[in-house]
């Protein structure tokens, strides 16, 4: 841990003024490592707010390239970077926001031991992916490593967000809420569409929950699922309990 410079004290002064954060909380952010799975609609605002807030290390993981159709909602990317890997475009965008943040760009679809290794090195994981297979793999890795997970999703005009904190024996995991055997179908933006600002709302909230977890601000969204109806602009909060028979997080005894 290195003491903040005068420039950092000025850059993060609006955080430091908050009693819930202060210098100690901002230092926790500077010392933290966040893993962002997905550099698209959700990952864009999430990563940008993490960088702006001073999270010291951000690892971006995505195996896709920037496409013209992404630009309607994936605000981390630009017209001039169409065709570039999303993680490289993202690293450039985050460096422009905050050059002090160390950004690792991984152009790959992580799974297995590689995913477990990346999750174990992180302070918190943000799942900004767009498919259930990845979400379940990330959840299993977070449970195994006891690393908190901030999960978001958005399609059409509907969004959702929750926190799954494996450090708490009473907190449910993603599989408690969406069991793998339930056979939920993936809905792709390419076929279903998505309202552009919706991913901004959910992605920004993912960043907010991640920052709270890193600083130690309570309560988090653990044990609650927030659903957003983007047409009516109505939020619904649903309590989620841990499934004692969950094949992923159930504890013996």
Active site (catalytic) residues: 189
CA atoms within 13 A on the CB side of 213: 29
The H-or-E segment that residue 228 falls in is strand 224-229
* The pair of three-digit structure tokens given for residue 6, joined into one six-digit string: 């005068």
Q: In the chain, where do the E strands start and end? A: 33-37, 57-61, 102-106, 124-127, 149-155, 158-164, 224-229, 234-239
CA atoms within 13 A on the CB side of 154: 28
d(CA 50, CA 218): 18
Three-state helix/strand/coil letters over 126-140: EECCCCHHHHHHHHH
In angstroms, the CA 130 to CA 186 distance is: 8
What is the rounded CA–CA span in Å between residue 99 and residue 35? 18
C-alpha closest to that of 211 among 244, 89, 129, 203: 203
Task: Classify residue 61 as exposed, middle or buried by CB count within 10 Å of its CB (0-12, 13-18, 19+).
Answer: buried
Q: How far apart are CA 172 and CA 78, in angstroms?
A: 38
Per the DSSP assignment, residues forming a β-bridge with 153 are: 160
């Amino acid at each position: 841990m290195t003491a903040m410079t005068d420039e950092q004290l000025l850059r993060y002064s609006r955080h430091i003024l908050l009693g819930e954060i202060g210098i100690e909380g901002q230092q926790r952010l500077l010392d933290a490592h966040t893993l962002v799975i997905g550099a698209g609609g959700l990952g864009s605002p999430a990563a940008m707010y993490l960088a702006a807030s001073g999270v010291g290390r951000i690892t971006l993981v995505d195996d896709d390239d920037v496409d013209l159709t992404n630009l309607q909602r994936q605000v981390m990317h630009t017209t001039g970077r169409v065709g570039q890997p999303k993680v490289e475009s993202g690293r450039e965008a985050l460096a422009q926001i905050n050059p002090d943040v160390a950004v690792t760009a991984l152009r790959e679809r992580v799974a297995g031991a590689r995913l477990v290794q990346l999750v174990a090195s992180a302070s918190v994981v943000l799942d900004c992916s767009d498919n259930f297979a990845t979400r379940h793999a990330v959840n299993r890795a977070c449970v195994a490593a006891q690393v908190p997970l901030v999960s978001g999703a958005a399609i059409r005009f509907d969004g959702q967000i929750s926190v799954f904190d494996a450090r708490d024996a009473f907190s449910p995991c993603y599989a408690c809420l969406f069991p793998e055997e339930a056979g939920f179908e993936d809905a792709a933006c390419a076929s279903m569409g998505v309202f552009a600002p919706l991913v901004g709302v959910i992605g920004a909230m993912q960043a907010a929950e991640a920052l709270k977890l890193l600083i130690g601000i309570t309560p988090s969204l653990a044990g609650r699922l927030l659903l957003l109806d983007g047409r009516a602009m109505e939020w619904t909060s649903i309590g989620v309990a841990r499934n004692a028979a969950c094949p992923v997080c159930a504890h013996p005894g």
